[in-house]
C-alpha cells in the first residue's frame, strides 16, 4: 500500500476519478481512496446529462471512446405547459453547443477501467477516518483498508467524497460557510424497460406538479414525478405512475406516452448547498463535497467535472513551476461558476414545480416566464446557454 503521494484523492466518483485521470496524464502521482466496493460505485445511479465542456474534457483525456459510441446526442429540450410544447434548440442559440445523454454509471465504469489499465493506485473499501495537517505542507489521510489502519502522506488532499464526507471536516468549522436550501417537494424517479416516447428530454409544468421524461438508452426510459417530501415509492402501483405521468405530459395533438415494465423506483429529495471556501491550506474540495444542486438543471455531474479540470490544471502548474497562483485562485474561480449553476438550477426548479399551497398569483408568474421563453429568442438563449454549459474559465 502506498504511504506517500503527491495528491491524495478521497472519493471514487466522477470528480475524483476524472481528477486522477488528468493528474496521471500530467505525470503527477496520486492515490484514489474510495470507501465503497467497486460494484457499488459502478451501480450508483446519478445524473446522465453531459454538457459540451464535459464531453470535450473527457475526449481530451482519452475517456470518451464509449461515450462517443453509445452516448445519445441531444440538440435541445422540450418545455410543456398549458397543453402546449416548445422546443429549445441548443446549437442555434449557443453557437453549436449540445449535450449528450450518458449515464453516470457508465462514465464511472470507463474511468475506473482506465485507472486500472494504467496500473495507478485505486483502493476500494478504503474508509477515510480523518485528514490531519491541512494547514501544513504535508497533510496526512488516515484510513482503514483490509482490516488495517493506514496513513497516506500527501502534498495535497482533494476531497471528492461528497457533502457528508470526511475531508470537509479537516477544515476548521469557523473557516467554513455553508449556504443551503431544502425544497418542499421531491422527485419520484423510475426506470422502465420501454423505448423513450421522445427524442429529447421533456420538462413539463402541470397543475398536478412537475414531470420529466428522460432516457438511459434507446430501449430504457427514465421518468420523474414531483411528489411530496416523504413519499413512499412502494405506495404507488405501476398503473398509477403511468397514469400520472400521462396526465402531466398531456399536450394537444397526437403525442402519447409509451408504457412498459418499471424496473427501478426511488424518491429523491431536492436541495441546494454551497460550501465556501473550496480550498483551505493543502485541502481542496471538488464535486458534491463543495456543492449540491437540484437535478432540474442537469448541473451536478458537470460541475464536478469542471472542478476536476480546473483543479488538475492548477496542480499541474504547481508541479511544473512551483507556483501556487492557480491553486490560490481555485476557490474563487470555481465558486463564481458554482453560484451561476445554483441560480440556473433554482430557476428551472421554481419555474417548473408547484410548491405546496402555491397561490394562483405565483402560478401565473411561472406561466408568464414560460411564455416569455417561447416568445423571446433572448430568453430562450439564456436558458440554452446555461443548460448546454457556459465556457469553462
Range list of H helices, the chain: 14-25, 38-42, 52-60, 65-70, 90-94, 104-117, 238-249, 300-321, 325-352, 360-375, 377-388
Cell digits of residue 234: 412502494
Helix (H, G, I), strand (E, B) or coil at 5: strand
> How far, in Å, CA of 96 to CA of 88, rounded?
13
Nearest in space to 155 (alpha carbons), one of 334, 313, 281: 281
* Sign of the dihedral through C-alpha 147, 148, 149, 150: negative
Query: Which letter does DSSP use for residue 391 in this model?
Result: P
SS (H, E, C) 163-194: CCCCHHHHCCHHHCEEEEEEEEEEEEEEEECC
Helix (H, G, I), strand (E, B) or coil at 365: helix
- Give backbone dihedrals phi and psi of 128, rounded to 5 degrees, phi first: -75, 130
Cell digits of residue 367: 406561466
Positions marked active-site: 74, 203, 295, 299, 387
Q: Are 149 and 157 in contact (CB under 8 A)?
A: no
Amino acid at each position: 500500500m502506498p504511504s506517500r503521494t503527491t495528491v491524495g484523492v478521497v472519493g471514487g466518483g466522477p470528480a475524483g476519478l476524472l481528477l486522477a485521470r488528468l493528474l496521471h496524464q500530467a505525470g503527477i502521482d496520486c492515490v484514489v481512496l474510495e470507501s465503497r466496493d467497486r460494484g457499488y460505485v459502478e451501480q450508483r445511479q446519478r445524473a446522465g446529462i453531459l454538457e459540451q465542456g464535459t464531453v470535450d474534457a473527457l475526449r481530451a483525456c482519452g475517456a470518451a471512446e464509449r461515450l462517443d459510441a453509445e452516448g445519445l446526442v441531444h440538440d435541445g429540450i422540450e418545455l410543456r405547459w398549458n397543453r402546449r410544447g416548445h422546443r429549445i434548440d441548443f446549437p442555434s442559440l449557443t453557437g453549436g453547443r449540445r449535450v449528450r445523454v450518458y449515464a453516470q454509471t457508465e462514465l464511472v465504469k470507463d474511468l475506473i477501467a482506465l485507472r486500472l489499465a494504467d496500473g495507478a493506485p485505486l483502493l476500494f473499501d478504503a474508509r477515510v477516518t480523518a485528514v490531519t495537517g491541512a494547514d501544513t505542507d504535508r497533510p496526512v489521510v488516515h484510513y482503514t483498508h483490509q482490516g488495517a489502519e493506514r496513513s497516506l502522506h500527501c502534498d495535497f488532499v482533494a476531497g471528492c467524497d461528497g457533502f457528508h464526507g470526511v475531508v470537509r471536516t479537516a477544515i476548521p468549522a469557523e473557516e467554513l460557510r455553508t449556504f443551503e436550501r431544502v425544497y418542499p417537494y421531491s422527485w419520484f424517479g423510475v426506470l422502465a424497460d420501454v423505448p423513450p416516447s421522445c427524442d429529447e428530454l421533456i420538462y413539463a409544468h402541470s397543475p398536478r406538479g412537475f414531470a420529466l421524461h428522460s432516457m438511459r438508452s434507446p430501449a430504457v426510459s427514465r421518468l420523474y414525478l414531483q411528489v411530496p417530501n416523504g413519499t413512499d415509492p412502494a405506495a404507488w402501483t405501476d398503473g398509477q405512475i403511468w397514469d400520472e405521468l400521462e396526465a402531466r405530459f398531456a399536450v394537444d395533438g397526437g403525442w402519447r406516452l409509451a408504457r412498459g415494465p418499471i424496473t427501478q423506483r426511488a424518491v429523491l429529495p431536492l436541495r441546494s448547498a454551497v460550501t465556501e471556501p473550496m480550498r483551505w491550506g493543502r485541502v481542496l474540495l471538488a464535486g458534491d463535497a463543495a456543492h449540491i444542486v437540484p437535478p432540474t438543471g442537469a448541473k451536478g455531474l458537470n460541475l464536478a467535472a469542471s472542478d476536476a479540470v480546473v483543479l488538475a490544471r492548477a496542480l499541474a502548474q504547481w508541479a511544473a513551476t512551483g507556483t501556487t497562483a492557480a491553486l490560490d485562485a481555485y476557490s474563487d474561480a470555481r465558486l463564481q461558476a458554482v453560484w451561476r449553476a445554483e441560480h440556473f438550477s433554482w430557476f428551472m426548479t421554481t419555474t417548473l414545480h408547484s410548491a405546496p399551497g402555491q397561490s394562483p398569483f405565483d402560478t401565473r408568474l411561472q406561466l408568464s416566464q414560460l411564455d416569455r421563453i417561447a416568445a423571446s429568442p433572448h430568453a430562450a438563449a439564456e436558458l440554452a446557454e446555461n443548460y448546454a454549459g457556459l465556457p469553462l474559465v
